[in-house]
Amino acid sequence: MAKSSIAAPVYLRFVAERADGETGLKSGIFSEAYGLLDGTALSAVHRDLLGKLIAWFDDRLPVPERFNSSKSKGAWRRNSRGISWIKPEAEEHISRMREIAWILEEHGIKVVMIKTLRPGRIVYEDDWQIVAEPFADTGA
């Protein structure tokens, strides 16, 4: 049997190097960015730039309708296992995520970009991103 010539997409995620204490997963850059905005560490210039970057995403990246596969009543309130991944064709989004990562790194938050061919069970998808419940070995 011949192998398919269609390559699987590589999904991207920008995360803080440290793991979140509650989930054990690495914290996404938006969580970290909101944390910086809530604090006092940002200069006025970085606060303005970070605010504009987040506003850009608010206007151009849909909020996923779901973060888990459960359809049971009240599932949206439970701690979700879904992880957001950006699609490689979302080039402008990726470029702006790199700008956010730069600001975070300027404030001591190490950011890494991780890639995967196997994000997990996809529970939401739009033109620019997916949300997937990770497989046991995904380790995002």
Q: What is the pLDDT of residue 140?
A: 54
How confident is residue 68, by pLDDT bands cut at 50, 70 and 90? confident
Which one is predicted more confidently, 38 or 67?
Answer: 38
Q: What is the pLDDT of residue 19?
A: 64
Eight-state DSSP code of residue 72: S
Q: CA 70: distance to chain centroid?
A: 21
Does residue 76 contact residue 63 with C-beta atoms inside 8 Å?
no
* CA–CA dist 26, 115 (Å, integer): 13
**Amino acid found at 86:** I
Q: Considering the entire predicted model, what is its pTM?
A: 0.82
